[in-house]
């Protein structure tokens, strides 16, 4: 039971409730069940203005923009910060973690959807997210992949994401409490792996759990920029790696925190 006396939502969600496979990256209907804030932030127009800014900045993937127009970012931040939810800024979510800037989230997901498997199959079948945080990116990914597994090492954040995602009733999202550096072997291989924390190198476990034709998008420490996005594609011949723009994420850490 939570502090309000209501029964806590049950996560992970049952895998036999996953929506049927789809042939294209068509966004689902707008999420429902999010309580209004009283600040007008639940208006679709507020999210659409954010989307138009992202489009002007170069985000062009229709499915990414569509998902960001539907998922209410203010639902995933503290009430005191809700008025900043649709600004292009990162915000604290507690325990030394942040919800990333919308522009960075959109850019990383857009890169992820460039994987060979996504282009060939019309969608990402299975995605592994490293660092659930408050659950916002998992909610976005739920519109873009048939199944999303999201690993969080900080137990209070795992519980918070579970509570925040429950009203959205996303049957294709499964939250996992564990060490993200180990990935999530039980449901490998993955068409996409996306990380919200960066280390000096990608963990070998992520490479091993990536399907042929799959892609990893993650920040890594870089001598020139401090930290930059890396894209790794797994092919029949091995792995191909490309560096992209500078970013700033929290450090990638091993172990779990209770």
Q: What is the pLDDT of residues 127-164, one digit of tens each?
A: 999 999 999 999 999 999 999 999 999 999 999 999 99
Cα separation, 55 vs 41, whole angstroms:
20
Architecture in CATH for domain 90-246:
3-Layer(aba) Sandwich (3.40)
Average pLDDT value for the chain? 87
Q: What is the pLDDT of residues 34-82, one digit of tens each?
A: 444 445 687 789 999 999 999 999 999 999 999 999 999 999 999 999 9
Asked whether the beta carbons of 164 and 134 are under 8 A apart, the reply is yes
Q: In this structure, is the dihedral angle defined by the CA atoms of residues 243, 248, 253 and 257, taken in order, positive or negative?
A: negative
Q: Is residue 4 classed as helix, strand or coil in its secondary structure?
A: coil
Domain ranges of the chain: 90-246
171 as an active site residue: the answer is no
Instruction: Indicate which residue of 66, 67, 69, 100 is catalytic.
Output: 100
Give phi and psi for 232, each to the nearest 5.
Answer: -120, 120
Q: Is residue 138 classed as helix, strand or coil in its secondary structure?
A: helix
Question: Comparing 10-14, 78-82, 101-105, which segment has the lowest mean pLDDT?
Answer: 10-14
Residues forming a β-bridge with 193: 128, 216
pTM of this prediction exceeds 0.85: no
């Amino acid at each position: 039971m939570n502090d309000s006396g209501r029964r806590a939502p049950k996560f992970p969600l049952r895998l036999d409730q996953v929506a049927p496979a789809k042939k294209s990256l068509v966004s689902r209907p707008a999420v429902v069940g999010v309580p209004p804030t009283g600040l007008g932030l639940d208006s679709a127009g507020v999210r659409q203005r954010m989307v138009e800014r992202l489009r002007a900045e170069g985000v062009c993937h229709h499915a990414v923009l569509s998902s960001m127009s539907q998922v209410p970012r203010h639902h995933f931040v503290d009430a005191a910060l809700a008025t900043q939810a649709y600004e292009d800024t990162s915000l604290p979510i507690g325990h030394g973690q942040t919800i990333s800037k919308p522009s960075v989230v959109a850019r990383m997901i857009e890169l992820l959807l460039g994987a060979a498997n996504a282009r060939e199959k019309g969608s990402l079948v299975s995605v592994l997210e490293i660092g659930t945080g408050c659950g916002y990116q998992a909610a976005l990914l739920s519109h873009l992949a048939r199944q999303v597994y999201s690993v969080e090492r900080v137990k209070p954040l795992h519980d918070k994401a579970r509570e925040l995602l429950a009203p959205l009733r996303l049957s294709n999202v499964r939250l996992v409490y564990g060490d993200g550096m180990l990935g999530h072997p039980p449901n490998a291989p993955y068409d996409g792996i996306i990380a919200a924390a960066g280390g000096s190198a990608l963990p070998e476990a992520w490479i091993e759990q990536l399907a042929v034709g799959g892609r990893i998008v993650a920040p890594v420490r870089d001598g020139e920029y401090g930290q930059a996005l890396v894209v790794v594609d797994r092919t029949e011949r091995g792995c191909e790696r490309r560096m992209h723009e500078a970013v700033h994420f929290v450090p990638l850490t091993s172990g779990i925190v209770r």
